[in-house]
Every structure is written in structure tokens, then in C-alpha cells.
Amino acid sequence: MQNDAPLKMAQACGSMPELREAIDALDVRLVALMSVRQAYIERAAELKTGRDQVRDPARIEDVVAKVIAEGRKAGLSPDIAEPVWRALIEASIAHEFEAFDKR
């Protein structure tokens, strides 16, 4: 990633501009990580032998369960984690179908 400097903790932000700057810095890191995740999705489309392998309901539930468990450890509400990851997974599946169909 471009900037691995420690992020300012939320409680250390004394104003809304400072807080927004910290959120923007975090978003830059999240985008970089999502780009890496997308590359993995594209590689999956190359490795799978059939289009029917792109959507794997058991894998979806496994990923969501792991994310919720990790989120709980990190203090992330399951009410945020689950819908965000389900949306990410669905967008990733759509991207993977596109990548699969282009090969």
C-alpha cells in the first residue's frame, strides 16, 4: 500500500475536519485492499473450469461467517459487516462472471 503510516485513532480527532481527513486516509487504504481483492477474483475466473463454479453458496456463507467473527473481535458491528460483505461478494461475483466470460 502507498501509505502504511499509523492511522489516527478516532478519539484523537478533535474536530470534524480532522476526523474527515482520517476517514479519507482510511478510504485510500480500503480502496487499495479492494483492488488486491479484485485481482484475486479475476484470478479465480481464470482458474475455474466452469461458469457454474463462479457462484458458490457454501463459500459465500463461509466468508460471511468468518467476516462476522473477525469483525466481532475487532469491534465491528455485525449489522455493518454482514451487509457490506454480502454487497462486496455480489459485486465480486458479477465481476468474476464478466472476467470468466471474456476468457
Domains of the chain, start order: 10-102 (1.20.59.10)
DSSP letters, 48-103, are -SSGGGS--HHHHHHHHHHHHHHHHHHT--HHHHHHHHHHHHHHHHHHHHHHHHH-
Which of 54, 78, 55, 56 minimizes the C-alpha distance to 67? 78
% of the chain surpassing 70 pLDDT: 97
C-alpha cell at 71: 469483525
CA distance 86 to 14: 34
Is residue 22 scored above 70 in pLDDT?
Answer: yes
List, for residues 46-65, the tens digit of each pLDDT value.
999 999 999 999 999 999 99
The angle formed by the CA atoms of residues 33, 35 and 40, to the nearest 5 degrees, is 95
pLDDT at 70 over 50: yes
How much is the mean pLDDT over the chain? 96
**Which band of pLDDT confidence, cut at 50, 70 and 90, is reported for residue 2?**
low
Confidence of residue 5 (pLDDT cuts 50, 70, 90): confident
